[in-house]
Structure 1
Amino acid sequence: MTPEPQFAGLEKGASDSDSSIDELEIVLRPQDPPQFPVLRPRDQLQSPTPLQQESQLSQSPVMRPQDLSQSPSPHSFTDSDILEEPELGLEDLAVQQESKPVNNVTNPMIVVSNRLPFVLKRNNQGALERTSSAGGLVTAVAPVVIECSGVWIGWTGLADYKQEDRIPESKPDDCSPTAGLKSCQAKPVIVPDESTFDKYYNGCCNGTFWPLFHSMPDRTVFDLQTWRAYEVVNELFARSTLEAVKSVIQDNKTGKTAVPIVWLHDYHLMLAANTIRDSVIDEGYKIRMGFFLHIPFPPWDIMRIFPWCDEVLQGMLGCDLVGFHIEDYCLNFLDCCQRCLGCRVDKNKMLVEHCGRTVQVKALPIGIPYARFTQLALDAPRVFPESDVKVVLGVDRLDYTKGLLNRLKAFERLLVKYPKWVEKVILLQVAVPSRTDVKEYQELKEDIDKLVGCINGHFSTPSWSPIRYIYGCVRQDQLAAYYRDSVVGLITPLRDGMNLVAKEFVACQQDNDPGVLILSPFAGSGLIMQEALQVNPYEMENVADTLNRALEMPLDERQLRMFQLKKREKKMDVDAWVQAFLHTMGVIYDNKDETPHEEQYLDKIEVKDFDISLGPLVDNCTKLGVILDFDGTLSFLARTPSLAIIPPETKRVLERLSNYHDCHVAVISGRNLENLQEKVGVEGITYGGNHGLEILHPDGTRFNHPMPPGYKERLEKLEEELRERCTVNGAWVEPKGLLVAWHYRNTD
């Protein structure tokens, strides 16, 4: 997937709405594709085998509009379908498959992505025109949004889109999945400053998150201005989402129990959740939020390089569910939450505790519209003329994560090491242009052009060239024919979130004479599609040997491997992915178990947990900082603050710790500084009164937070008002100098 703009939101600390409070402290705060020569065809398409017949019977019917050539739409080959431009630049064949039932989803769903699920363009008169976008994600999710009267939020793709512009309705002859999505269900996000959007999208999303999350920190650019732009645009997306939440709640006809579901997508929107959550809590609304990352999530040692790593993690943790393609990414995320934020995590249950909330983390491997590609492969005419030459196929967006240079060198090594394949095999590499205005991508294209020319110049004969290189767009029906008629699918990215090209190759294979899939383990699909031949794209010798093995593989082994691959991908298609998300969010239930959604929680902390987690850290550290609360920690909770005392044995431990030169102890409390110092009575430690507004260091230096003019007068007035109105039924008010506390622990 290309690092296109996709989803947004602004970071804020997640609210702790469920914590148990027995004391309230009040603080006043300041404010047409190229043809190529003769190639070897695969066997003619024959009558469907029993397996094909079974597959066809089990799939939904396929519909195609009359004019296939006028429906360009994004087509996903890696990780996501909601793109600002076609992921592979492919002209989409607008094929509509009937969606699988979604078990009567009644909860209104708000989908937030960087782009709207259709393409908006202006005609010669300046009026907006709407064309379909039939990518896999749109095909699966749009019917759900339509069914539950939900909303889809995203950028229009037009820099000149104004507030007064109106999104047109779909055309009467539109058969795409978004045809039923009314204009009122599509909410555009308007970024008024084009420079801000450029910094957000090209700067932060493409220049920072894309290489960093693909574990390529040497290509990553860190810039404060692009990060600020990312925050601003995320804020705009979050505010649009809040408006949509209010709208669907007001218009909801299914009753008060139908909680809106907000589904955020991808690395463009990693800060939105906290802004949304904080605001809906203030407004008194109840929602459930899910986030899905369509690219890899890096390990801790890569993620911590990002200067604002904590903000990103906290933003994602604002959701109730955080989804990734595979379990490895889930574990990376949990590890980052634990090591960067200090969160409690359960790696068995895949749970994170953050700000008093428990967030579920789950592997939800995305699929493809399997039935559509199967039908395309059955219908598409042959594109390879008759020949004895075998075709090895590579299909990628031109990006440094795809390993195209390594792949070309490995194919060259095949011809050197196994000369029997000279004039017997070709590599057909489709490279779709991407970010052509970026120097790094221009240089990559030049390197590929030179290498292709070098290999062809060395091995070509008058009737044969080893590499057929297509730099441009390919129609989806033609692509399906490429998949079907190739003997090997060579998918070797250096790093990829999922890579759906591998799945599409499998869906288009014939049962009677399938090809062989070669796959990199560094793609998410490589860990799922185990029947594929695994290769290390960094090791050219390994790839060359595996290519030779694939070209020589007998029919029975090819059929066995491909049968298992097809069986899995048919079951785990994109509709199943959406169903899994909805089920996890508690929107739909299994027919066998119609139980309501139940929250999961981490086990309560016990003494042994401190020994397990803190013991090794204390043993291995050179300096130790101990920060303690007073009431309820050093002292048992007393009926009134004046009755609280510190046990003698606890005081002795503090005195011993204070004598270690490499141990620093601080006691922080809501009490005023003098009262706290009197209650603890240990020298050589730091005291923080009024929750840190007053600090006394061991050397006697003191810090007092500056108060705005009139603060004390307003605080006294507030204290008086609380005494008059709130000191009933056992509740009472305690002045704390710079704060005032209202105690209601003993109320009836």
Structure 2
Amino acid sequence: MGRLIVISNRVSVPKAAGAAGAQGGLAVALNSALREHGGIWFGWSGQETEEFTGHLDMQRNDGVTTATIDLEPQDIEEYYNGYANRTLWPLFHYRIDLTEYDRNFGEGYERVNERFADSVLPLIENEDLVWVHDYHLLPLGSLLRQKGVKNRMGLFLHTPWPPTRLLVSLPFHERLVASMLEFDVIGFQTTEWLESFLHYVQKEMGLTVNPDNSIDYEGRKVIARAFPIGIDFEEFVAAAASDEARQAHDRLKESVRGRKILIGVDRLDYSKGLGERFEAFARFLADNPDQAAKAVLLQIAPPSREDVTSYQMIREDLERKTGHINGAHADVAFVPIRYVNQGFPRDELAGFYRAAAIGLVTPLRDGMNLVAKEYIAAQDPEDPGVLILSQFAGAAHQLKDALLVNPHSIEHVSETIKQALEMPLAERKRRHASLLASVREQDVLRWREEFVRTLAGTADTPSVAPSLTMESAAETVDQAGPA
């Protein structure tokens, strides 16, 4: 096997462990793969340039080579803020009401993907494996094929894949999916997103899906499979045992003065269901006055995509709700919601997780959600907290012993908070042991190895495809609740 060429919208340069802004599990896994196989991580630098030149900034840090390009302001507005985050992101998270269709967005998306293809092309050698990540770069495989690349190429989608009846609202949807079929392997987080994709290629494109999950397309077989991503389990457990984590744990516990802590850690995004989460906590406070002064919700929500209007609106909405709830339920020595708009290093987060009696992970729709897995890994097995998890997160397919909730139902989440706070120690330990085994076994290193082996053609393929009929897959959106 040749080197590994990783291509993503942004590139994670290796940093010192425990540093502020340190790498997440995905970056750790990909950097580990690049060290093992050799190769390059290519993507956008995050920086602007007045005129695109295609200049590559090559760096080598901690044994990993990275290559980045700068983009013009128009590129960033149309490709990133536009098509990626105002068209594909809301559509893929079932928010058709927030999806914007603008011809300039589509043109910018295709232009930047073309620039990625031109810039990375000279870096690809004959035997290299090419691994492309996420919704920003869906056409990239097709563009590289047009430029003569014959290498094995794979795509992994970190987001959900929407049901067919939603996807067909996207102009030129068939052209977009056809470009994806130029990859040799297409990976999804769960069988639900995989089934939606297979339903689309069967119903809208008339393609054949074989028992081994391959799709017949223009004389080739394209493998489509679910590869559930995990965390770097050993690294995160070590982080939870660090001095920094212990200090963060003690600091948080001391500050709440014996109250039970509920914790949410989410990027500030409408898909995370933060508004509904706050309303559910307010309902819990109102319905359980005897416990109202005994529970604190710590919501950590670093801002993101601040140039997109819908993200500005969600921040304003959460600030209003926080003020209203705290005004109604606080006293001079206590506020029920601590709403923090900043990120924290992984060691500190691990300490916060360990201090929390409840991990509140209630996205309206999520490809996987690794916060749920981090919360489990950080717990004390002798006195573990309880994970409350949205049934619409990809992680719910694996973490069956969490308390699964419908995040659209304020009453359901409120009642589940009460259930979690009153759960006996024996049940908490039983549930946690089961969840911990799943998180340990299905970690990010296993995910990376399975995808790379499949891409290289050295992995076993499933003997049967997911159970799928046209009708069952088409009904997925109806069964999933409101968008």
Matches within 5 A, 1:221-300: 221-245=100-124, 248-249=125-126, 259-280=127-148, 286-300=150-164
**Which of 375, 392, 397 in structure 1 is aligned with 2:238?**
375
Distance 1:154 1:164 in 2: 12
Q: Secondary structure at the match of 2:413?
A: helix
Distance 2:335 2:66 in 1: 49
Tell me which residue corresponds to 2:385.
515
Distance 1:157 1:563 in 2: 41
Deviation at 1:598, TM superposition (A): 8.8
Tell me which residue corresponds to 1:153.
42
Task: State whether residues 211 and 217 of structure 1, in contact with CA within 8 Å, keep that contact through their aligned partners in structure 2.
Answer: yes
Distance 2:23 2:148 in 1: 33
Q: Is 1:465 paired with 2:354?
A: no
Q: Is 1:398 paired with 2:287?
A: no
Which residue identity lines up with residue 361 of structure 1 in the other structure?
Answer: A
Aligned residues: 455
Which residue identity lines up with residue 161 of structure 2 in the other structure?
Answer: F
Deviation at 1:233, TM superposition (A): 0.9
Q: Secondary structure at the match of 2:47?
A: coil
Which residue identity lines up with residue 517 of structure 1 in the other structure?
Answer: L
Which residue identity lines up with residue 428 of structure 1 in the other structure?
Answer: L
Q: Secondary structure at the match of 1:146?
A: helix
Gap regions ≥5 residues in structure 1: 1-105, 121-130, 171-177, 250-258, 590-596, 603-611, 614-748
Distance 1:406 1:578 in 2: 34
Q: Is 1:430 paired with 2:300?
A: yes
Alpha-carbon deviations, 1:54-73, whole Å to 9, x = none?
Answer: xxxxxxxxxxxxxxxxxxxx
Which residue identity lines up with residue 319 of structure 1 in the other structure?
Answer: F
Deviation at 1:113, TM superposition (A): 0.8
Alpha-carbon deviations, 1:310-358, whole Å to 9, x = none?
Answer: 1111111111110000001001001111122121223x53221111211
**Which of 281, 284, 289 in structure 2 is aligned with 1:414?**
284
Tell me which residue corresponds to 2:176.
312
Deviates more, 1:136-145 or 1:520-529: 136-145
Q: Secondary structure at the match of 1:569?
A: helix
Distance 1:147 1:559 in 2: 37
Task: State whether residues 230 and 443 of structure 2, in contact with CA within 8 Å, keep that contact through their aligned partners in structure 1.
Answer: yes
Deviation at 1:241, TM superposition (A): 3.3
Tell me which residue corresponds to 2:323.
453
Alpha-carbon deviations, 1:118-174, whole Å to 9, x = none?
Answer: 289xxxxxxxxxx9962212211223223333122111122139759674645xxxx
Alpha-carbon deviations, 1:400-434, whole Å to 9, x = none?
Answer: 11111111111111112222212111111111111
Deviation at 1:599, TM superposition (A): 12
Deviation at 1:260, TM superposition (A): 2.1
Matches within 5 A, 1:26-425: 106-118=1-13, 134-160=23-49, 167=57, 169-170=59-60, 178-181=61-64, 185-191=65-71, 193-245=72-124, 248-249=125-126, 259-280=127-148, 286-346=150-210, 348-379=211-242, 380=245, 381=247, 382-386=250-254, 387-425=257-295
Matches within 5 A, 1:718-733: none
Tell me which residue corresponds to 1:565.
435
Deviation at 1:225, TM superposition (A): 1.2
Q: Secondary structure at the match of 1:446?
A: helix
Distance 1:186 1:168 in 2: 6
Distance 1:204 1:164 in 2: 21
TM-score normalised to structure 1 length: 0.58
Compute the RMSD of aligned alpha carbons.
2.5
Pair 1:586–1:168, CA change in 2 (3 A): closer
Which residue identity lines up with residue 339 of structure 2 in the other structure?
Answer: Y
Distance 2:30 2:307 in 1: 32
Alpha-carbon deviations, 1:541-592, whole Å to 9, x = none?
Answer: 1111111000000111101111111111111111111011122123656xxx
Task: State whether residues 351 and 601 of structure 1, in contact with CA within 8 Å, keep that contact through their aligned partners in structure 2.
Answer: no
Distance 2:22 2:122 in 1: 25
Pair 1:509–1:601, CA change in 2 (3 A): closer
Distance 2:148 2:131 in 1: 15
Task: State whether residues 426 and 468 of structure 1, in contact with CA within 8 Å, keep that contact through their aligned partners in structure 2.
Answer: yes
Which residue identity lines up with residue 207 of structure 1 in the other structure?
Answer: R
Which residue identity lines up with residue 263 of structure 1 in the other structure?
Answer: W
Distance 1:456 1:133 in 2: 32
Task: State whether residues 81 and 308 of structure 2, in contact with CA within 8 Å, keep that contact through their aligned partners in structure 1.
Answer: no
Alpha-carbon deviations, 1:214-260, whole Å to 9, x = none?
Answer: 00101000011110111111111122333222xx23xxxxxxxxx32
Tell me which residue corresponds to 2:422.
552
Pair 1:220–1:519, CA change in 2 (3 A): same
Distance 2:59 2:272 in 1: 38
Gap regions ≥5 residues in structure 2: 471-483
Deviation at 1:112, TM superposition (A): 0.9
Distance 1:166 1:331 in 2: 38
Task: State whether residues 358 and 600 of structure 1, in contact with CA within 8 Å, keep that contact through their aligned partners in structure 2.
Answer: no
Task: State whether residues 186 and 225 of structure 2, in contact with CA within 8 Å, keep that contact through their aligned partners in structure 1.
Answer: yes
Task: State whether residues 358 and 601 of structure 1, in contact with CA within 8 Å, keep that contact through their aligned partners in structure 2.
Answer: no
Deviates more, 1:271-280 or 1:154-163: 154-163
Tell me which residue corresponds to 2:397.
527
Which residue identity lines up with residue 437 of structure 2 in the other structure?
Answer: K
Alpha-carbon deviations, 1:81-108, whole Å to 9, x = none?
Answer: xxxxxxxxxxxxxxxxxxxxxxxxx422
TM-score normalised to structure 2 length: 0.89
Alpha-carbon deviations, 1:349-405, whole Å to 9, x = none?
Answer: 322111121111100001111112211211212222442210111111111111111
Deviation at 1:304, TM superposition (A): 0.3
Task: State whether residues 107 and 587 of structure 1, in contact with CA within 8 Å, keep that contact through their aligned partners in structure 2.
Answer: no
Deviation at 1:469, TM superposition (A): 1.4
Which residue identity lines up with residue 419 of structure 1 in the other structure?
Answer: P
Task: State whether residues 521 and 535 of structure 1, in contact with CA within 8 Å, keep that contact through their aligned partners in structure 2.
Answer: yes
Pair 1:349–1:332, CA change in 2 (3 A): same
Tell me which residue corresponds to 1:542.
412
Task: State whether residues 321 and 359 of structure 1, in contact with CA within 8 Å, keep that contact through their aligned partners in structure 2.
Answer: yes
Q: State the identity %.
A: 38
Task: State whether residues 189 and 236 of structure 1, in contact with CA within 8 Å, keep that contact through their aligned partners in structure 2.
Answer: no
Q: Secondary structure at the match of 2:335?
A: coil
Task: State whether residues 298 and 332 of structure 1, in contact with CA within 8 Å, keep that contact through their aligned partners in structure 2.
Answer: yes
